Amino acid sequence: MTTEAERGWLTPMRARSAEERHRVSTPLELFFDLCFVAAVAQMVAPLHHDISEGHGRHGVSSFLLVFFAIWWAWMNFSWFASAYDTDDDVYRITAFVQIAGALVLAAGVKPAFDGGDFVVITIGYVIMRLAMVVQWTRAARSDAPRRATALRYAAGITGVQIGWLVRLALPEDWLVPAFLLLVAAELLVPVIAERAPGGPTTWHPHHIAERYGLFTIIMLGEAVSAATIAIRTGLDLGEHVPALVSLAVAGLVIVFALWWLYFDRSAGGLLTSLRVAMLWGYGHYFILASAAAVGAGLSVAVDHYSHPAHVTAVVAGYAVAVPVALYLFFVWLLHIRPHRRRPLVVAYLVGAALTLLAPLGPAPVHVVAGLLTVLVAITATLGRRRTPAP
């Protein structure tokens, strides 16, 4: 670890210990997360409007495509920083370049949603990823034992970015297949690089768990923000005030419960191997995207109450229920199932299934809030019972 006295313009990028004590997120990492909020906020608003206007398929597909770019750039920086955070001046400036790329990406969200124009988003994404090439090149120069690993990362990222730029020139019919192919290539880069002869990078399990937890909080915070703006707009109309207040309370209960269920226990102890950690990290795409999409869903529910929307009550209910159910399923898969506590394993799956049925009845948002409250109660009781000693 580079101390404050040792930090300078350019210091050797030595690998940090995976067993370092008291490893926590740095101010730069927290600032990095905060700046990514702008891009996420730009995605949630058009998702909400597309669903409310009856264009749910377009909105969801655009949201998932754009969210991948944000999530993958954030994820790669976080794992790199866990192993090689020198906090020198060049490291900080390179991180700022990545933040700038995220803001460029945010500026391209509207054209992407409105007309399928991904030029600005691609440019912003490539800026973020090429900044990571600089970081990996530095690591290759300083960390001799893992030089092959770092060089594989640098070469793989560079090659895929060329692919993203080439995609801009492809015919429209090829865009989706090319996107899927490039996503697969992005996901394979760490899998191939971490298996280089020099061995994997020295990521810190508890630091990684904390980083993902902080980003999950940001996504849930975005859900609160989006729902608050929608409810305030509805209240300004002066109609349906009791229903909107009730909906606001139910929405808050949903977000509070989602936070509780994710953070009921630390995930650091689950990351026991590279394979497990990669699956855990990749699976968080669905947790993070679902958490952000809950805000859009609550906004759609507000639209349905406050003024005529182009969707039925069932569709408005599913705008909340689907992301909540996905969130529950992947929290179960990544956090609950590994502990093998049968009552909780069953409770989460039942909760997700009942959540998907809620929109078929009255007051679906309130029903979902009630189901999550019950699940929190089960988690707070059964989940904390100690296994009796043999």
Tell me, yes or no, whether 80 lies in a domain.
yes
Q: Note whether 37 and 139 are same-domain residues.
A: yes
DSSP for 202-257? ---HHHHHHHHHHHHHHHHHHHHHHHHHHHHHHHHTTSSHHHHHHHHHHHHHHHHH
pLDDT range class, residue 172, cuts 50, 70, 90? confident
pLDDT tens digit sequence for 335-356: 988 876 677 888 999 999 999 9
- Average pLDDT over every residue of 75-102: 91
Tell me, yes or no, whether 198 lies in a domain.
no
Q: Note whether 116 and 215 are same-domain residues.
A: no
**Residue located via tokens 């049968």:** 342
Give the closest residue to 104 by CA, choosing from 129, 137, 138, 136: 129
Domain boundary among 193, 227, 260: 193
Give the closest residue to 71 by CA, choosing from 323, 289, 258, 330: 289
C-alpha span between 63 and 122 (Å, rounded):
14
pLDDT range class, residue 185, cuts 50, 70, 90? very high
Domain boundary among 169, 193, 217: 193
Q: Note whether 210 and 255 are same-domain residues.
A: yes
pLDDT tens digit sequence for 281-331: 999 999 999 999 998 999 888 888 776 557 788 988 999 999 999 999 999
Tell me, yes or no, whether 122 lies in a domain.
yes
Q: Note whether 180 and 263 are same-domain residues.
A: no
Measured CA to CA in angstroms, residue 268 lies from 208, 211, 275 at distances of: 7, 10, 14
* Domain total in the chain: 2
Angle at 21 between CA 16 and CA 22, to 5 degrees: 105
C-alpha span between 141 and 313 (Å, rounded):
59
Question: Among positive and negative, which fits the CA dihedral 119, 124, 129, 134?
Answer: positive
Domain boundary among 166, 193, 220: 193
With a pLDDT cut of 70, the percent of the chain lying above it is 92
pLDDT range class, residue 388, cuts 50, 70, 90? very low
pLDDT range class, residue 387, cuts 50, 70, 90? very low
Q: Note whether 282 and 161 are same-domain residues.
A: no
**Range of the structural domain that residue 353 is part of:** 205-384
Tell me, yes or no, whether 373 lies in a domain.
yes
Q: Note whether 180 and 224 are same-domain residues.
A: no
CATH number at residue 370: 1.20.1410
pLDDT for residue 114: 82
C-alpha span between 94 and 110 (Å, rounded):
27
Other beta carbons less than 10 A from residue 48's beta carbon: 26
